[in-house]
Amino acid sequence: MNRFPNFYKTWDADSRTFKVISALGKRVDEAERDLFSIMRAHWVDKAFSTDLDRLGAVYNIERKPGETDDEYRGHLKRAIMEFKGGGTISAVLSVVKMALNLPSDYLLELNENPPKDISKEYSVITGALFSLSSESVLDAKPSIDISVETENEKISNPTLTNTETNESITYTGTLQSEEHLKIEEGKAFLDDVDVTESLSTTIIPQLLRKGSTWSYTEIIEEEIGVFDSAQFDHSIFALGIPTVNIGFKWTAHQPATFEIKIPKNTIYRASDISLVEEVVNSIKAVGVRAVINVVEG
């Protein structure tokens, strides 16, 4: 109507020109609206109500009871991502962002094989064998803590050996009960005293990722009584051998595991974390463990 000359009186709602053009124009406007409705019906972000249900039917995903359009829309988008992306890093991060309604360019941190502090303790006597693994995708260098469990006893020259690699480390000296010998990073401390010079080596035997057998020995092992080989009046029998506690501590990089760090300021509802766990578990590969940690944003 704005294109007509002024004397056609299109500005007058009672004029015949206005009524004719208005009647035709309404049909054009309605056709345009219908066209946009059809287009929106094919876009998950724009569709609503039954149109959204029809899009869900393409993937055989029904709306859950009581699920709103926004919730169902997120449900569909996560499902589509599962069909397209599998368990890739980008697919996992995408579904987490969808679940939390975060922008697609929001930076989330995902760490593969995240570190974990592990400790193991063994109560042994000289000559004992035990199995130990790094429980990691990599070999590891542990810190070692040795103490005498038996009261009022002592040990001399305790030695730890990885029988797989033949690596060993010996403390040349005496360890009394209630004393602690700590060996880490090429250093040794007897309680608070530096005794590194008493180590046979500053290289600590490795924990193998495939696992290996370790042995513990003391200087008295050569004198332990054994039938048919002990000498009269020169044997020490196991009854009086002290028990030793050996502790190992190391950092393992967990196999078949990934960690997602969720900033605390992105959590608005109590159910958000359980929703993230649900969507991640639905898309990750079978046998892979997902760890969800909420961190300060």
Instruction: Give 165 or 77, the one with higher predicted confidence.
Output: 165
Query: Which residues belong to CATH 2.60.120.860 in the chain?
Result: 115-253
The confidence score (pLDDT) of residue 203 equals 94
Give the pLDDT band (50/70/90) at residue 229. very low
Higher-pLDDT residue of 9 and 197 is 197
Between these two residues, 42 and 24, which has the higher pLDDT value?
A: 24
Q: Which of 3.40.50.20, 3.40.50.150, 1.10.150.110, 2.60.120.860 would CATH assign to domain 115-253?
A: 2.60.120.860
**pLDDT tier at 249, thresholds 50, 70, 90:** very high
Answer with the residue of higher pLDDT: 208 or 83.
208
pLDDT higher than 50, residue 197: yes
* pLDDT tens-digit readout, 86-143: 668 888 888 888 788 888 789 999 999 999 999 999 999 999 999 999 999 999 999 9
SS (H, E, C) 203-234: CCCCECCCCEEEEEECHHHHHECCCCCCCCCC
Query: Does 226 have pLDDT greater than 50?
Result: no
